[in-house]
């Protein structure tokens, strides 16, 4: 066990962890954050996607030991069910979920793109999102929701 301080959603979180623990388990079990999901543990599906500094990363693969001093953001940082953020609002308006298991990862990957490229075209969105899998076939709506935010100039938070 090691003392590791993670900066998650703007708050410093001192944690007692095994240093090889992937970030996913620290988020879910030590910080009680549901957003990042276990899907494959292999970085193949993106259900666990979070943003570290400004990059989308697979939380299932990234050990906590290397994350001290970095800014980690999960889908909980975008808003809540009561006060959803702009991208969450777009997903709700487009009803862009079926089972919804992949959706938090989709939101975080899309958020990372929009923060770096405020108005991506559709081809850019498709390429960027290709790392995340959806099995229900909600892809068309996910793209529509991202395009809705890409198409205006409002704040992303």
Binding footprint of other proteins on the chain (CB under 8 A): 18, 21-22, 25, 28-29, 32-35, 37-42, 44-45, 47, 74-76, 78-82, 84, 88, 91-92, 95, 97-104, 107, 125-127, 129-130, 132-141, 143
- 37 to 12, 50, 150: CA distances (angstroms): 22, 10, 25
Nearest-approach distance from CB 14 to other proteins, in angstroms: 17
Nearest-approach distance from CB 129 to other proteins, in angstroms: 4
Closest CA to 25 of 52, 51, 48, 54: 48
136 contact partners, CB below 8 Å, separation of at least 6: 98, 99
Nearest-approach distance from CB 142 to other proteins, in angstroms: 8
CA distance 101 to 97: 8
């Amino acid at each position: 066990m090691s003392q590791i301080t993670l900066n998650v959603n703007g708050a410093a979180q001192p944690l007692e962890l095994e240093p090889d623990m992937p970030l996913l388990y620290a988020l879910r079990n030590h910080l009680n954050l549901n957003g990042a999901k276990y899907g494959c543990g292999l970085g193949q599906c993106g259900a666990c996607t979070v943003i570290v500094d400004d990059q989308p990363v697979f939380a299932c693969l990234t050990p906590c030991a290397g994350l001290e001093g970095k800014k980690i953001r999960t889908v909980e940082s975008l808003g809540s069910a009561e006060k959803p953020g702009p991208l969450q609002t777009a997903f709700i308006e487009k009803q862009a979920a079926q089972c919804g298991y992949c959706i938090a990862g989709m939101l975080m990957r899309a958020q990372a793109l929009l923060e770096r490229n405020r108005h991506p075209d559709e081809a850019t969105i498709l390429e960027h999102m290709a790392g995340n899998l959806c099995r229900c076939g909600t892809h068309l709506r996910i793209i529509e929701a991202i395009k809705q935010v890409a198409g205006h100039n409002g704040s992303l938070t």
